[in-house]
Amino acid sequence: MSEATKAALTAADSTTASAGSAKHGIARVLSNRAVQIILVEVVIIAIFQTLSPGGAFLSEANIRGMMLTASQVLLLAIGQAILMSAGQIDISQGAAVILASVISGQLMIALADSAPVPLVLLLGVVTAILVGVIIGVVNGVMVGVVRVNALVATLGMLSVATGVAQVVTGGVNLFGMPKELQTSFGAVSFGFLPLPMLVSLLIITVIWFLFRFTPWGTHTLAMGSNSLAARRVGIQTLRNTIAIFVLSSALAGVAGFIDLARYSTTNISGHLNDSLAAIAAALIGGTALTGGRISFLGAIVGAFLAIILQSGLVIVNLSPFYQTIAIGVMLLVAVSLDRSSRAAAKRTQ
């Protein structure tokens, strides 16, 4: 065989290997849950853009509205994903949003005429977070100390927090927030990105960094994989359980303050389905319902899927009841995907 022939065969083998490697790389990317969700979102966006009057779905106003909604939902989804990675769950997030906005709103209304506006706004956000922290401490103690199932404990808190908000307000939404709450925060944008969205992304980035590069993340995932084994190797499971419930509810408190900044009023009859949307976003994004696995990126794109569906249904003039159906379908699909992932993992073991 001549040298030229050998060189040609070598080049052909190299080309074949490169093509095979490229195909494998593409298949690997397409098998990523987050990428799959993004592709689904692109298709759904195209459908809603086609069906919406005058292509209003991708209008600047609607994109900004979705970003403002995302600034709240993303916080809840990340909090829920961290809880789920530890084998826990919190269905009281929506009630925490409501109660935090109510208490914070009442404080700001009471101080509006007697204190400097920056101080009023600062006290408002601190109060909203503290309300969330208190709810989280109660949830964490009930689960970690009293040993009540997380679903039952947070279901009870859902009723308690919602009831307290209704009693405090008499069932009537609050009005009269300082106008600077909107003009200095809720209505401020940098390009198409609202300031509340940037704040949420900053908070999520800090949480991701701590989860990824400190022992906290490893300990949380270990608790989700095997709580008993985690305790035996010295992980402070009780302290960590309370901490992650506090984090989830504190993020809900921030979401409650953002809600006030968006509308300058409370919404005591809303947000009760927010926890379901957050759970569905985390599950669809690849976080395991039974613990031991988390995907921050997946939770983010999963949250955007819920937001896109909700906004699109409104744009095409479908009844708001269809939004509830969409969230329910998302939750069922998410649980099915989680079970399929676990079954596939067991088969490969």
Question: What is the tens place of the pLDDT at every residue in 22-66?
Answer: 566 676 666 677 888 888 889 989 989 998 888 899 998 899 999
pLDDT score at 19: 54
Strand partners, 189: 194
pLDDT score at 10: 57
pLDDT score at 322: 75
**What is the Cα–Cα distance from 243 to 217, expressed in whole angstroms?**
12
pLDDT score at 124: 96
Question: What is the tens place of the pLDDT at every residue in 100-120?
Answer: 999 999 999 999 888 899 999
Reading phi first (left if > 0) and then psi (alpha if -120 to 50, else beta), residue 236 is in: beta
Low pLDDT (below 70) residues in the chain: 1-25, 27-31, 320, 337-349
Q: Which CATH number fits domain 55-341: 1.10.150, 1.10.3470, 1.10.20, 3.30.70?
A: 1.10.3470
* Cβ burial 100-138 (10 Å sphere, 16+ → b, else e): bbbbbbbbbbebbeeeeeeebbeebbebbbebbbbbbeb
At 316, phi and psi to the nearest 5?
Answer: -90, 10
pLDDT score at 55: 85
Instruction: Answer whether 0.85 is exceeded by the pTM.
Output: yes
